[in-house]
Amino acid sequence: MRTGWFFGRFCSFFSHFFEKLPSFVAMRRLLTRIINRVLLDASVTPAMTGAEAEIHTEGRRKLVVGLGNPGMEGTRHSVGMAVLGALAARLGVADRWHGDRHVSGEVILSEVQQTRLVLLRPRLLMNVNGVSVAKAAGKYGIRPEDILLVHDELDKPLGKIAIKHGGSARGHNGVRSCVDCLQTDVMLRLRVGIGRPSGKTSVERHVLSRFSSAEQKVLESVLVQSVDLLISQLSQQDSPSAPSSPAGGRAAAAAAQRKQKEV
């Protein structure tokens, strides 16, 4: 009886103890935020070359980012990089990629109908892609509302794409890193469907896997449609800028619009 009582108390204590501990997911997010801040604080604003300085002249400037993992460009999780590569090819600048250690990524400077573009492929892991995005935005003087993130989307099947105007990261670690580093969620996003895993395949294994030969054929069409949509978005005239905020960018924009109507 004494042993049973002691074992019960022991289990009760540890159950209560672990309930008080932060979850693994929460701990991982906290650690990622710390890494984001450390990497950003360590950055130094570089002196710019003529071509880089020219982008700061008057006119529209936009940053288009293909989120992903360096060295894993052919995987589902890095489909954003594939879209950005297709965009560079359509613009005839695919041979201009060059590494820029000051933004921890590879960049191309280009234009679309009088809009100056910076194309960016981060060379950091997906979970800290935001560091590269924030560095590039700072270097080229680009506002968060003029940043377009291209990334994979589990909740859409392969073959489906959609534009999302700000809002939460919805579980995407790369987007969450961007929101954390830029301290706002107003960035426009092109969500490229990769579908959820079937059977017992884990999400982690699914997103890090490569597309099958049959899926590659669908992907070719997806890349064309994605580039068409990107160019359409980039060619549009600027609309009134949504206010940047530490959180709730879309909600802040809606509130501002309501206020204008009331006036």
CA distance 163 to 43: 31
Query: What distances in angstroms separate CA 250 from CA 13, 27, 107, 186, 241, one per listed residue?
Result: 44, 27, 28, 6, 11
Angle at 231 (CA atoms; ends 226, 232), nearest 5 degrees = 95
Q: What is the DSSP letter of 75?
A: B
Question: Are 66 and 48 within 8 A, CB to CB?
Answer: no
Q: Is 77 a catalytic residue?
A: yes
Give the Cα separation of 5 and 28 in Å (integer): 36
Q: Are 160 and 198 in contact (CB under 8 A)?
A: no
Provide the pairing of β-strand 98-100 with 105-112: antiparallel
From the candidates 56, 77, 98, 172, give the one annotated as an active-site residue: 77
Measure the CA–CA gap between 219 and 169, rounded to whole angstroms: 24
DSSP 3-state assignment of 240?
Answer: coil
User: DSSP string spanning 76-109?
Assistant: GGGHHHHHHHHHHHHTT-GGG-EEETTTTEEEEE
In the numeric block, which tokens belong to residue 164? Answer: 């999302």
Distances (CA, A) of 21 to 25, 184, 198: 11, 29, 32
Which residues are the active-site residues?
77
